[in-house]
Structure 1
Amino acid sequence: MSSRPFAAYEWMIAWRYLRATRAEGGVSAMTWISLIGIALAVFALIATLAVRSGFRTEFVDTILGANAHATYYTFTRLDENGVSSNTIADYADKAEALRAVPGVTHVAPVVRGQVLAGFGGRNVGAQIVGMAADDVRALPRIVDPSVGVGDFARYGEGIAVGAGIARQLGLGVGDSLRLISPDGAQTPFGTSPRVGVYDVVYVFSAGRYDIDGTRIYMPFAEAQAYFNRDGVADDIELLLEDPESLERIMPSLWQAAGQGGAFQTWKDRSGAFLRALEVEDNVMFVILSVLVLIATMNIVSGLIMLVKNKQADIGILRTIGLSQGAVMRVFFICGTSVGVIGTVAGVVLGCLFALNIDAIFALVNGVSGGGVWDPAVRGIYYLPAQLKAGDVVTAVALSLFLSCVVTIFPARRAARLNPVEALRDG
């Protein structure tokens, strides 16, 4: 009997074998086990890839949305009085030169300092970032009306405090925060601490635990006066049009900045963590790929049992004219059908998980009594997931490829059975 490959009768025979019960010589139970195993493996792979992509995207977004993409600073040098300093005296001219570089969208001179912030008998260490109001507005994660509290238009009258600091101190908009800096005025008895009291006009949340718990924004001129930085800035922050490809613009920035200083980029600050994430992503993908392989191996055991139970049928089919290729295709259809159905089920489950991860995570957090996700350890406040078409295609391609490959061996074994021996043994 000769016909085109994968003819209708081959599909009909394969379907009869797949739905046959144990009493009829089929292995429907093993078929269901294989199908469920593949579905769960593909679900786990898609869910992991979605969480991986979401975590990296959220982490990078909080970095780029609340920090400079590149920071220019000068090297330590001795001033005319023999005192070491690394401030930038010509920050206005330097900022103008850097602003003229194509690809730079915003430039901001900054004054920085460490202080002890106190309110209501409680104290926390904090970092003061002195920036003009327009420069702070350029950071989308800082001035975000959807999560911020207060009126940022009053920034010139006070300070903007991170939500973590406000939570630790029990601080709210309208309260007065005491700031103590160890680098105060010079007296004959040494350096006296500098104390200032400022009204809190805005409480921001950048989406990062470390930023919200340490950072305070102060108007640039006020920060200059508070930290004795009259006429100078500590560094210059730059925002770029395409922060992911900052290597392309760095030569132009170096040329515009001239000698005596250097740049620190967001990749320099967070590069080690991002590389660790990439290594972890690759390892997790390999491990879950092995999980998919193990799940597809159930197809092999199921088909071997099916071939053994259907030896007499195979002998009859070969006797009435089915070729070796036709028999092989029948059992190949049996194996790959399980793989395809299991893969589709896994894709549906994985996509539903990624799209409803907030509700699922809230349920898990509620059942466990809370504390499942510690932002102090993970940096961000929640478990994100980002479903990408490329990740879904990768999972589907891997599952279907392995399903097809592992099916070939038992299908070839069935095709090579001798009809006479198959009828005798069956």
Structure 2
Amino acid sequence: MASNPPPFAAFEWMIAWRYLRARRAEGGVSVMTWISLIGITLAVFALIATLAVRSGFRSEFVGTILGANAHATILSVGEVDPLGNLNRTIPEYGEMAERLRAVPGVTHVAPVISGGMVLVSSQTQNWGVEVIGIAQPDLADMPGIAAAEQSAGDLSRLGEGIAIGSGVARRIGVRVGDRLRITSPNGVQTPMGRSPRVNAYEVVYIFTAGRYDIDSTRAYLSFDEAQSFFNREGVADEIQVMVEDPEHVENVALPLLQAAGDRAVIWTWRDISGGFLRALEVEDNVMFIILSILVLIAAMNIVSGLIMLVKNKGRDIGILRTIGLSEGSVLRVFFICGSFTGLIGTGMGVILGCLFAIYIDPIFSFVNFAMGGGVWDPSIRGIYALPAELHLADVLKAVALSLGLSFLVTIFPARRAARMNPVEALRYE
């Protein structure tokens, strides 16, 4: 007795391939196949492109935060002086910094002066900036500033002048070597009240950190000069801490707080930007669901094409069943027809999506040129260009979703073909 053929035998693939190449008289089947193929290709392309942009946007956002800001900031709860003013400076900042450096996982500790918003002026323009006082070696350890995307000047000369963001430089029209004037409302106390303090500094360094809000509002003075200018002699406003694993900075938050002392509080970068990141995650999940629905709609076209194919091939199915083809073989033939469309469409969508993520810069430049510029506003987006970062996990997620839905929806019309009664199929032939 002849043994049953194994599943997905060569003749099943041959029959399926024959059905996929519809003749001109069966053009409707061919059209539906092409519609299904194009639909799945575009849906997978859109899904991969969205996941890549999402990953790139988060990576760019977090990278610029961590590159130009502290991972954690130690502050003092403060004390009320006899005049009723709250003093939150840290007089023992040197000893506190040493204790923080001893915490496992800490890579860098820097006392800083937070001068707040001041007015910077050139000969023709004025602009409000946030001035931070920090020692030059400490600022050199900030990759977003010292190793900025674009920079001009010499950061090692910070003690001789001021470092400003490129957005500040454009606003007030200065370059390296020019002088600008800083006006702080918290100046010298006089019998007539507090008078503004004004000083002029040479621009020694201009940086582009990659974040619009940083580049357009940030300036740095040396720590000693900031102490003198902002009346902080002998104290620091806060202590900035860098850690080995900033993505899990919460793991070292308690040890840092214990090392800082009883009157200290801690703010991590997640406390400051966590709301935006959580909103971004919610948006990502919603977009993934919406695009998954698009993939499902595209996969449903396979059902329409297979139903038409089964209807057109009713006579063939009856003959195949009559000569001994089993229900399982018929089911696999039509399953191959549907899943092959999903497989090819998914592959083409993956190629297009990966190419989009890889060449997003020239694509974005072309779109910006075609639209006459101004497509991307960094003052709203926070970053200067549309980023994309391709991850294998995102690609595999899109492939698994597309193939899973394609295989799933193919089963139902394939089962209908397999269960077709050969006698009924041949009755009117």
Normalising by structure 2, what TM-score?
0.97
Does structure 2 retain, via aligned residues, the 8 Å contact 1:357–1:385? yes
Matched AA of 1:292: V
Note the alpha carbon deviations across 1:111-136, whole angstroms, 9 max, x for none. 01121011122111111100000110
Cα 1:146/1:210, change in 2 over 3 Å: closer
Contact 1:109-1:233 at 8 Å conserved across structures = yes
Q: Distance in 2 between matches of 1:43 and 1:243?
A: 33
Q: Which of 77, 85, 99 in structure 1 is aligned with 2:101? A: 99
Aligned residue among 159, 162, 167 for 2:162: 159
Distance in structure 1 (CA, Å) of the matches to 2:54 and 2:80 = 48
The residue number in structure 2 matching 1:279 is 282
Runs of 4+ aligned residues of structure 1 deviating over 2 Å after TM superposition are: 79-84
Aligned to 1:236: 239
Moved more, 28-37 or 217-226: 28-37
Contact 1:312 1:425 (C-alpha < 8 Å) held by counterparts: no
The residue number in structure 2 matching 1:384 is 387
Match of 1:126 among 121, 125, 129: 129
Distance 1:25 1:358, change over 3 A: closer
Contact 2:113 2:226 in 1 (8 A): yes
Shift of 1:26: 6.7
Residue 372, structure 1, aligned to residue 382, structure 2: no
Q: Which residue of 1 aligns with 2:12?
A: 10
Deviation at 1:154, TM superposition (A): 1.4
- What amino acid maps onto 1:11 in structure 2? W
Q: How does 1:125-274 map to 2 (within 5 A)?
A: 125-144=128-147, 147-274=150-277
Specify the alignment match of 2:327 in structure 1.
324
Alignment coverage as a number of residue pairs = 426
Q: Following the alignment from structure 1 to structure 2, what is the Cα–Cα distance between the partners of residues 407 and 220? A: 68
Aligned-residue offset at 1:219 = 0.3
Which residue identity is paired with 2:213? D
Counterpart amino acid of 1:17?
Y
**How far off its partner does 1:239 sit?**
0.5
CA shift digits 1:212-259 (9 cap, x unpaired):
110100000000000000000100000001111112212211111111
SS at match of 1:363: helix
Give yes or no for the alignment of 1:314 onto 2:324.
Answer: no
Q: 2: distance between equivalents of 1:126 and 1:425?
A: 86
Structure 2 contact 302–409 (Cα < 8 Å) conserved: yes
1:424 aligns with 2:427: yes
1:19 and 1:26 in contact (8 A); partners too: no
After superposition, the Cα gap between the structure-2 partners of 1:228 and 1:25, relative to the gap in structure 1 and judged at 3 Å, is closer
Paired position in structure 2 for 1:52: 54
Which of 397, 403, 406 matches 2:406? 403
Cα deviation 1:75-131 (Å, max 9, x = unaligned): 131236654211001111111111111111111111011210111221111111000
The residue number in structure 2 matching 1:345 is: 348
TM-aligned CA deviation for residue 301 of structure 1: 0.1
Superposed CA deviations along residues 367-387 of structure 1, whole A, max 9, x for unmatched, are 001111111111111111111
SS of the residue 2:425 aligns to: helix
Matched-pair contact (CA < 8 Å) for 1:18–1:26 = no
When structure 1 is superposed on structure 2, of 374-383 and 23-32 the one drifting more is 23-32
| 5+ residue gaps, structure 1 | none
Following superposition, the deviation at residue 424 of structure 1 comes to 2.2
Instruction: Give the conservation status (yes or no) of the 8 Å contact 1:149–1:203.
Output: yes
Q: Does structure 2 retain, via aligned residues, the 8 Å contact 1:25–1:309? A: no
Q: CA separation in 2, counterparts of 1:302 and 1:26?
A: 8
What is the aligned counterpart of 2:44 among 36, 42, 63?
42
* Corresponding residue of 1:415: 418
Unaligned runs of at least 5 residues, structure 2? none
Does the 8 Å contact 2:299/2:405 carry over to 1?
Answer: yes
CA distance in 2, matches of 1:251, 1:263: 9
Identity of aligned residues (%): 65
How far off is 1:152 after superposition? 1.2
Provide, for residues 397-417 of structure 1, a one-character-per-residue CA deviation record: whole Å limited to 9, x for no partner.
111100000000100000111
Match of 1:77 in 2: 79
Residue 61 of structure 1, aligned match among 60, 63, 68: 63
Spell out, residue by residue over 1:158-210, the C-alpha distance to the aligned partner (whole angstroms, 9 max, x if none).
01001110011111101101000001111111111100100000001110000
**Equivalent AA in structure 2 for residue 94 of structure 1:** M
SS in structure 1 of the partner of residue 103 of structure 2: coil
Q: Is the 8 A contact 1:25 1:310 kept in 2?
A: no
Return the letter of the residue paired with 1:264: W
Contact 2:93 2:111 in 1 (8 A): yes
The offset of 1:145, in angstroms, is 6.0
- The aligned amino acid for 1:388 is H
C-alpha separation in 1, matches of 2:373 and 2:248: 39
- Say which SS state the counterpart of residue 148 (structure 1) adopts: strand
How far off its partner does 1:25 sit? Answer: 7.0
For normalisation by structure 1, the TM-score amounts to 0.98
In the alignment, what sits opposite 2:110?
108
**Distance in 2 between the 1:31 and 1:206 partners?**
50
